Homo-oligomer: A and B are copies of this chain.
């Protein structure tokens, strides 16, 4: 290790603070991953780290040394930071003494490689960065092959997305694209689109969600755009006993995705040789 950073005015600490700002992230092509669990998942997911900052006085557990050794072993510089400047650089109120600067990765839709009979989750716009994190966690749990955000202004490297995803940003393939690009790409890959909307009679449990399927969810406040409602192959709704706005977008996504998991699992029990849904149960 190089000499520890002891001053909060050190240029590297200032750089970490500036990475809260999107322009600085985009300019440098980097972003910050914080905490043991997220950094571990990022390392497992093959993320490229530029620098790892550690502050042993803040470590919570005893596994940090192993993770640091693993990351240092890939040639990543490890820089020790005193507690006070580390607190200044950290995004969390209770920092765990681990901060990594990582290279942004491609989120182009053309980089996605759907396998056989994929299950995809498409969200038209993200109202709060934390919601995308929750959606990525849920998509991971449901064994989704990818998540597509149809709003080109979304920044998946926003610290709140990174935090709320608890590292799933590095596990679930993610694309950011326009609605037109997304519809064209899904059509080209022969993936059937199911738009969730209150304005249909078909319940999500009555639709056939096996095969190559993309579940499409709109914003909590306005629902899906006319473009999606008109151009999707199917429209489905979750039955609502109460107020029309009772489910938030992430919850609607989770309920529909796990209905797809149920149907795919039922299919798997009767045909254990079908390969396309392996990931959902691996």
Contact = CB atoms under 8 A, between A and B. Distances in A.
B238 A258 contact: yes
A141 B205 contact: no
Interface stretch (A28-36, A65-73, A146-154, A274-282): A274-282
Q: Which of A141, A168, A172, A259 has the most CB of B within 10 A?
A: A141
Nearest to A243: B140
A106 to B, nearest CB: 21
A103 interface: no
A138 B258 contact: no
B255 A205 contact: no
Nearest to A141: B246
B138 A247 contact: yes
Contact-residue size bin, chain A (C-beta under 8 Å from the other chain): 35 or more
A137 B220 CA distance: 13
Contact of A168 (B171, B205, B242, B250): B242
A134 B247 CA distance: 8
A242 B138 CA distance: 9
A205 B262 contact: yes
A251 B252 CA distance: 9
Contact of A255 (B166, B203, B258): B258
A140 B241 contact: yes
CB-CB nearest 6 A-B residue pairs: A143-B241, A140-B242, A141-B246, A255-B258, A205-B262, A137-B246
Interface of A: 41, 134, 137-138, 140-143, 166-168, 171-172, 203, 205, 238-243, 245-248, 250-251, 254-255, 258-259, 261-262, 265, 279-282
Given A140-B243, A141-B241, A143-B242, 6 more contacts: A137-B246, A137-B247, A140-B242, A172-B242, A205-B262, A255-B255
26 contacts: A41-B243, A134-B248, A134-B251, A138-B246, A140-B242, A140-B243, A140-B246, A141-B240, A141-B242, A141-B246, A142-B241, A143-B242, A166-B243, A167-B243, A168-B243, A171-B242, A171-B243, A239-B281, A241-B279, A241-B281, A241-B282, A251-B251, A254-B255, A255-B255, A258-B258, A258-B259
